[in-house]
């Protein structure tokens, strides 16, 4: 009996080694302007085996020496991966633009964008996204975890933006949870894959003028990965911060106009006094 159980376990592991899903990699790019307005772009990159004529090599096993199976994702979405596009179009809040999905090689890219008029507007939109989560709410996070924008200076204005990884992931949960609950199909991976396994924050970039913070995924050949070594490292920072400076053109122009008006007034007074 023990031998049969051991053989069954080995066979199960062999089945999972032959094929595997790979999480959708989420990349976030954010840009702030001098007035606190800006734009955020969210890209979900999913490898689609139906777009490849050959097996997709597991990114954690690029040399194919550890027996990790090829990436098979299409069967794990009911109706195929393009149903993600449909789900996003049907469920994204009104202020988000769901762009047409695009393909490059065997990658499908699903893109969401939204903009804000000032930092208060940004906070309102982030709060809306977090509160769309079925399990999280904005009030779950303390002040240190919430996005902050510090503005200093006069003629040369400096903006410092900080945001926690926790709030970023919370703002994505509405989509991840929705896709997992509505159209994800575990197929052979039932009880092995949870909502947390279907996506990963793979890249985060934020820019303010010349200032930039960027953390992107990379392959570390020395990283431990189960019984072997070498795996993809995703975003690990718990907090993101960037500082950028702008010349406050409006204040400079206003100062010049005010100075000119003051000088003109003084000249007028002197002219009248001489008369």
- pLDDT tens-place string over residues 26-68: 999 999 999 999 999 999 999 999 999 999 999 999 999 888 8
pTM of the prediction?
0.84
Is the pLDDT confidence value at 230 over 80? yes
In tens, the pLDDT along 118-173 reads 999 999 999 999 999 999 999 999 999 999 999 999 789 999 999 999 999 999 99
CB 42 within 8 A of CB 93: no
Rounded CA separation 41/15 (Å):
37
Residues 6+ apart with CB under 8 A from 170: 129, 130, 133, 136, 140, 141
Is residue 254 packed enough to be buried (19+ CB in 10 Å), middle (13-18) or exposed (0-12)? exposed
Is the pLDDT confidence value at 6 over 70? no
CB 99 within 8 A of CB 111: yes
């Amino acid at each position: 009996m023990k031998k049969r159980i051991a053989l069954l376990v080995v066979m199960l592991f062999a089945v999972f080694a032959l094929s595997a899903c790979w999480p959708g990699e989420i990349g976030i790019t954010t840009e702030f302007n001098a007035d606190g307005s800006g734009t955020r772009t969210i890209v979900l990159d999913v490898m689609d085996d139906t777009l490849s004529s050959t097996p997709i090599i597991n990114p954690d096993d690029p040399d194919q020496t550890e027996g990790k199976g090829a990436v098979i994702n299409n069967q794990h979405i009911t109706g195929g991966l393009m149903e993600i596009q449909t789900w996003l179009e049907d469920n994204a809040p009104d202020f988000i633009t769901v762009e047409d999905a695009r393909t490059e090689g065997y990658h499908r890219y699903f893109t969401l964008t939204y903009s804000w008029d000032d930092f208060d507007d940004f906070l309102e939109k982030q709060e809306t996204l977090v509160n769309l989560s079925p399990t999280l709410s904005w009030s779950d996070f303390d002040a240190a975890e919430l996005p902050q924008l510090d503005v200093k200076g006069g003629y040369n204005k400096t903006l410092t933006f900080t945001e926690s990884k926790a709030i970023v992931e919370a703002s994505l949960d509405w989509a991840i949870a929705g896709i997992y609950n509505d159209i994800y199909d575990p197929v052979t991976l039932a009880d092995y894959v949870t909502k947390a396994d279907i996506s990963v924050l793979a890249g985060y970039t934020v820019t303010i003028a010349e200032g930039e913070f960027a953390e992107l995924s990379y392959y570390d050949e020395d990283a431990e990965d189960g019984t072997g070594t070498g795996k993809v490292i995703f975003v690990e920072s718990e907090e993101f911060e960037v500082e950028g400076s702008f010349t406050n053109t409006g204040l400079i122009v206003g100062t010049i106009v005010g100075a000119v008006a003051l000088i003109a007034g003084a000249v007028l007074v002197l002219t009248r006094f001489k008369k």
